[in-house]
Amino acid sequence: MSKEVILTGLRANNDLHIGHVFGAMLPIIDVAKQYAGKYQVNMFIPDLHSFTTPIDHSKLQQQIFDNLRMFVAAGLPLDNPNVHIYRQSYIPAHSELTIIMNNFTGMGEMERMTQFKDKSAKLGTNRVTVGLFDYPVLMACDILLYGAAYVPVGDDQSQHIEITRDLGQRLNARFDQELFVVPKTVKEQHEFFGKDQGLRIKDLADPTKKMSKSDETGKGVIFLNDSPEIARKKVMSAATDSLGGVQYDYRERPGISNLLDLLKLFGGSPEDFIGQTQYGPLKSAVADKVTDFLEEFQSKLTSVNDDKILQKLEISEEAMAKQANQTLFKVQQTVGLRSKDG
């Protein structure tokens, strides 16, 4: 039997930040390191998703490569033959399956996607594109082409995992066969990655919203290429509240709760700070962890071997195109685009 697939994608339309690290990168890298050989691990760049929101196209090539280097600096083991890195647009089956899948997807379903609603509200009607609308269908195809069972993503993407399951199951039922291996439920995913819920790291300056690379000021975002000094400043000036006393309370005290969560994610002990009257020591503890992490990460980044990435890309893209084409061909036969005789 072939190995179960674990897959995730990170867009390359801006710099990566610590939300990406804990939401998607480390969960998949930990599996790749811990169970080398047990799973197939696909960590890819959904480059066609990059311009679903406006970007500087002249920077995309550089950004794609920078992000791949970050995957390696974060610990992705390129020498493991079960680990694959690739760019979505280099495997045309992704686009092709999307065009087919669009015809099995309801307009209403896509209109209900929270991310679409949020992003289109920000952009305004004239700037909302069909590409943004279709984003979840392309994402579903990214997953279904390889029959991925586990897809580590942050909380903001959970709804897209659900729609992937719906679309996969819909086609399986419609054609009465197992065309697609459908990803596990979001609950099963959380159990697998040892979490009790989806992760959503908040912006340090405005903890009512998600830490996001599209934030205009970047004041509340710890980017992976921030200098440790800048990062320390961002943590020390994180917005908190005037209620006094360190406590978890996600609703009333999102700033403090976010700092406690960050401390835990970086391997610290939030318990040590619960009940303290001052916020300063908690902030300093988080700042220490963040700067240690960035120093180590950035030093690894300088020793990443670019040639190794290029070689791996070539091997992975060839191997993954084969896998993706097999799924695509089965779908093409089933919907009548290709003869069943092969």
Catalytic positions: 119, 210, 213
Query: Which is closer to ligand TYM, CB of 10 or CB of 179?
Result: 10
Nearest to 101, CA basis, from 340, 337, 316, 341: 337
Q: Does 201 bind ligand TYM (CB under 6 A)?
A: yes
Does residue 139 belong to the site contacting ligand TYM (CB under 6 A)?
A: yes
How many other C-beta atoms lie within 10 A of the C-beta of residue 272?
Answer: 13
List phi, psi (to 5°) of 246.
Answer: -80, 120
Q: Is 29 one of the binding residues for ligand TYM (CB under 6 A)?
A: no
Q: Which residue lies nearer to ligand TYM by CB, 33 or 200?
A: 200
Region binding ligand TYM by CB under 6 A among candidate stretches 194-202, 231-239, 320-328, 333-341:
194-202
Residue 218 near ligand TYM by CB under 6 A: no
Q: Residue count at the site for ligand TYM (CB under 6 A)?
A: 24
DSSP element (H, E) containing 39: strand 39-45
How many whole angstroms from its chain centre is CA 26? 10
Q: Which residues of 151-179 are buried (b: 16+ CB within 10 A; e: fewer)?
A: bbbbebbbbbbbbbbbbbebbeeeeeeeb
Return the number of the residue (33 or 195) whose C-beta is nearest ligand TYM: 195
For the chain, the maximum distance between any two Cα atoms, rounded to a whole number of angstroms, is: 73
- Judging by beta carbons within 10 Å of its beta carbon (0-12, 13-18, 19+), is residue 325 exposed, middle or buried? middle
20 is a site residue for ligand TYM (CB under 6 A): yes
Choose the stretch contacting ligand TYM; rule: CB under 6 A; options: 153-161, 259-267, 279-287, 312-320.
153-161
Of 116-124, 197-205, 253-261, 324-332, the segment contacting ligand TYM by CB under 6 A is 197-205
CB of 152 to ligand TYM, least distance (A): 7
- Name residues whose C-beta falls within 8 Å of residue 39's C-beta, 6 or more positions apart in sequence: 3, 4, 5, 6, 31, 32, 82, 150
- What secondary structure letter does DSSP report for 17? B
What is the smallest separation between the CB atom of 142 and ligand TYM, expressed in angstroms?
4
Question: Quick check: helix, strand or coil at residue 268?
Answer: coil
Among 68, 76, 113, 199, binds ligand TYM (CB under 6 A): 199
Smallest gap from Cβ 240 to ligand TYM, in A, equals: 18
221 binds ligand TYM (CB under 6 A): no
**Which residues contact ligand TYM (rule: CB under 6 A)?**
7-11, 19-20, 23-24, 46, 49, 139, 142-143, 151, 153-154, 156-157, 199-201, 210-211
